[in-house]
Amino acid sequence: MESEGEMLFCNQATFTLFESSASEFKHIDSLCVHWHFFDAEDRALGASVSPLHQVMMQQEPIRGHFFKIVSDQKSKWIKMSVIPLHGATGSIELLVSSCEDVTIHKTDELRYQAMVNYDPLTKLPNRVLLSDRLSLAIAHARRKTTAVAVCMIDLDGFKEVNDTLGHEAGDEVLIEAAKRMRKVVRGDDTVARLGGDEFVIILVNLFKSEECAVTLYRLLNTLSQPYSVQGGQWARITASIGVSLYPDDRVEPEILLRHADVAMYKSKNSGKNKFSFFDVGSDQKVKANYKALSKIKQALQSGDFCLYYQPKLNVASNSVVELEALARWNHPLLGLISPGEFLPLIESDEELSAEFDYWVIREALAQLHIWRALGIPLKVCVNISPRQFKESHFMARVQELDALSECPGALLRHLELEIVETAAVENLGRSNSVIVECKRLGITFALDDFGTGYSSLMHLRELAIDTIKIDRLFVSGMLENSENMAIVQAMIALASAFDIAVTAEGAEHIEEVLSLMELGCDAIQGFAIARPMPAKEVAGFIATFTPDPRWKIASMSLPSKTDFELLLAATNHKYWMELVLSELERFPLEEAVLQGYTRECRFGFWLQRGRDAAYRKSSAFHHLVTLHRNLHEHVDHLAQRLTVEKRSILAQERLMLQSLSTELIEWLERMRKTVGIHRKEAYENERSKSIKEK
Ligand code: C2E
Ligand code: MG
Ligand code: MG
């Protein structure tokens, strides 16, 4: 062909290929009348543009390129080379071209590619092609500084369509959904099917990440319209979409897909038919936590954790007999790290949390053994995480640790476990059985941070705990804040009513210690007594511990708590008496009912277990014991008679019982006064002694 497009020579095979003849095929333009040219990517080359035109314009040869030629009726694939021959002036004088009909090979190849790259049902790109397209989209976005949105789409309610209308209807829905998605997106975007009812859309050329929101709303809308299936039936589905955005989330293509999947589950779990974006910030936090967790694990292995011990002042004896074990991370670079910084992380990991808690118990038992061997009779209180406390094998593990300790069976009696109130009340029944089981082994229990959770009277009554620890929140500042003071007072009264000891935490000032003593706390813990210290400093601390003289005086002053105890004991007794007398009114008497009252009463409990030694020593106390026994015997005897005899005997007996009860109350009051007077005297003596010393 010469440069003006005039055909000089054409062999028969070429005529056959283009279905033309020498008379028709005189000029290159006549070729383009019958055939339209498309490139290998199926893009139209435009009217009157053939590869021959291209070479003439660009003056560059083409060798072995594939083109599709399309006429009204058919299409063919040709493989074509066009070489320009230049004249002496350098301009193109001739074009030499060869063509080959490769339709058969190309169709096979395309069919194969479709199988490999496309989903046969919806004809959408499949996972393989999606992966290519995503890599290309990201490379393109990087060059053009644009954004890419990867949208993971999962159809909601598709399974129901399959189950109720059948698989064919399901297929129809998938095909239709695919069509609707393609309609919503632009030509450069990709809609792919991963399989089942999972699709991915890649939105490209975004300038702002928010741009894709409009498309996402359209997608949700179009996908939620009813689907006509199986001739006249209607199927309804919606979509849950998760989106990850490049370059906000600057990760590899595969990870972008995974992040979109995570976001999709967020949509699924928060009501469906919506889209959610992947939260890059929270993902970074998760990664940072993961790193921190592995460092903690390493530190635990290499012995960088240790226990500090904080003494508790026992008010009655004015001495330190108990310590709370508090974990510390002795970081090689950062120094001593407090539990507030590492515990939340530890507790987020099931395995590590268990490892850590059992390490603390093991360590505390080992330390207890060392102190006991040195003749220092201390008790150690260990904090247990709520997670471990709730574990079904918790008790078995504790016993195992005891068995492995230096002194199996002997140390648990000196161990107290502290659990936070919230953990204990979550399942009262189970908590109580763990507590009771522990007690069988000699372990005592404390409710930690009392007052910050659900603190209710019910819990104290139902849990067999020994101690409550009033949280620092109420103790610090209690002197300036009358509300806090009232709360502390109420807690002490409450605990006392249930015969539970009280420890106050966080007393930072001597005045707080004094007030807590006066209010009747059994033990006090706080910086005013001592800060947490390494185990090796404890023996020295105990040996040199001299209580502040003011504490001694305060602990001797009339403690309102024991006054309260007496008041409560008297009230309990009066209440019991009322119940008994009202039962006696009934006739015939049900023996079992009255016996329930005669066997036990709260006053009797107090007599047996009252913790104030001063009362026990007074003669009035012994008199009270006798009076109480008489009264019960009397009621017992009466109960037996009343089941057979008449009611007429009652009036006399009532009077008798009432006088015994009055006598008991009188003796109680007498005891309160005498003990009070002794206390006051001792208190005055101590005060004057201290004034003289000053
Ligand atoms: P907690 O059991 O209530 O321990 C008392 C916390 O109050 C300790 O903080 C202690 O140092 C602090 N404290 C004591 N007296 C004062 C005071 O007068 N003023 C002030 N400002 N603070 C005082 P720490 O050691 O940071 O422990 C915090 C919490 O971490 C503990 O609260 C406990 O719940 C938990 N914890 C500590 N060690 C362990 C452990 O080995 N295992 C578990 N599971 N938890 C632990
Ligand atoms: Mg504690
Ligand atoms: Mg606490």
Q: Which residues span the domain enclosing 219? A: 118-278
Interval 410-468: pLDDT, tens:
999 999 999 988 788 777 888 888 999 999 999 999 999 888 765 565 677 788 899 99
Are both 127 and 150 inside the same structural domain? yes
Structure tokens given for 389: 């406390």
In the block, tokens 């058919």 appear at 74
CA of 619 to the centre of ligand 1 (A): 44
Are both 440 and 476 inside the same structural domain? yes
How many domains would you assign to the chain?
4
Please indicate whether residue 56 or residue 690 has the higher confidence score (pLDDT): 56
Counting residues of the chain whose pLDDT is more than 90, the rounded percentage is: 40
Which of 494, 527, 558 is the C-terminal boundary of a domain?
Answer: 558
CA of 324 to the centre of ligand 1 (A): 9
Residues 259 and 265: beta-carbon distance below 8 Å = no
State the average pLDDT for the chain: 86
As a whole number of angstroms, the distance between CA 484 and CA 480 comes to: 8
Mean pLDDT computed over 276-298: 81
Pocket test of ligand 1: the residue of 308, 326, 524 to mutate, having most ligand atoms within 8 Å of its CB, is: 326
As a whole number of angstroms, the distance between CA 205 and CA 208 comes to: 9
Look at residues 436, 422, 341 and name the one whose alpha carbon lies nearest to residue 385: 422
Interval 559-602: pLDDT, tens:
555 666 676 677 778 878 887 877 777 655 566 566 666 666 77
Residue 451 in contact with ligand 1 by CB distance below 6 A:
no
Interval 489-508: pLDDT, tens:
888 888 887 889 999 999 99
Three-state DSSP string of 362-380? HHHHHHHHHHHHCCCCCEE
Mean pLDDT computed over 269-292: 82
In the block, tokens 């002694």 appear at 689
Look at residues 417, 437, 311, 421 and name the one whose alpha carbon lies nearest to residue 361: 417
Tell the residue nearest (CA) to atom 22 of ligand 1. Answer: 506
Residue 19 in contact with ligand 1 by CB distance below 6 A:
no
DSSP letter, residue 27: B
Mean pLDDT computed over 661-669: 89
Beta-bridge partners for 419: 447
Question: Residue 693 pLDDT more than 70?
Answer: no
User: Residue 555 has what pLDDT?
Assistant: 62
Q: Which atom of ligand 1 is nearest to the CA of 384?
A: 44
Mean pLDDT computed over 610-626: 79
Beta-bridge partners for 429: none
Question: Residue 219 pLDDT more than 70?
Answer: yes
Interval 85-133: pLDDT, tens:
888 888 888 888 898 998 888 888 877 777 788 999 999 999 989 999 9
CA of 534 to the centre of ligand 1 (A): 14
**Residues around ligand 2, an ion, CB closer than 5 A:** 383, 418, 448
Determine the distance from the C-alpha atom of residue 436 to the mean position of all C-alpha atoms in its chain, rounded to a whole number.
29
Phi-psi map region of 42: left, alpha, beta (phi>0 left; psi -120 to 50 alpha): left
Residues 247 and 141: beta-carbon distance below 8 Å = yes
For the ranges 193-197, 200-204, 493-497, the lowest mean pLDDT is seen at: 493-497
Angle, helices 280-301/350-373, rounded to nearest 10 degrees: 30
Are both 583 and 637 inside the same structural domain? yes
CATH assignment at residue 525:
3.20.20.450
Which of 507, 534, 558 is the C-terminal boundary of a domain?
Answer: 558
User: Residue 466 has what pLDDT?
Assistant: 93
Pairing of strands 147-156, 238-246: antiparallel
Look at residues 73, 72, 69, 94 and name the one whose alpha carbon lies nearest to residue 83: 94
Residue 421 in contact with ligand 1 by CB distance below 6 A:
no
Mean pLDDT computed over 62-69: 88
Look at residues 555, 538, 560, 576 and name the one whose alpha carbon lies nearest to residue 660: 576
Are both 309 and 360 inside the same structural domain? yes
CA of 383 to the centre of ligand 2 (A): 5
Structure tokens given for 179: 């069509």
Are both 152 and 139 inside the same structural domain? yes
Interval 109-122: pLDDT, tens:
877 777 788 999 99
CATH assignment at residue 77:
3.30.450
**Would residue 583 count as lying in a domain?**
yes
DSSP letter, residue 649: G
Question: Residue 520 pLDDT more than 50?
Answer: yes
Are both 504 and 570 inside the same structural domain? no
Q: What is the pTM of this model?
A: 0.55
70: helix, strand or coil: strand
User: Residue 537 has what pLDDT?
Assistant: 96
CA of 358 to the centre of ligand 2 (A): 16
User: Residue 558 has what pLDDT?
Assistant: 46
Which of 51, 84, 110 is the C-terminal boundary of a domain?
Answer: 110
Are both 345 and 236 inside the same structural domain? no
Residues 6 or more apart whose CB falls under 8 angstroms from that of 471 comprise 449, 450, 451, 452, 505, 506
Residue 385 in contact with ligand 1 by CB distance below 6 A:
yes
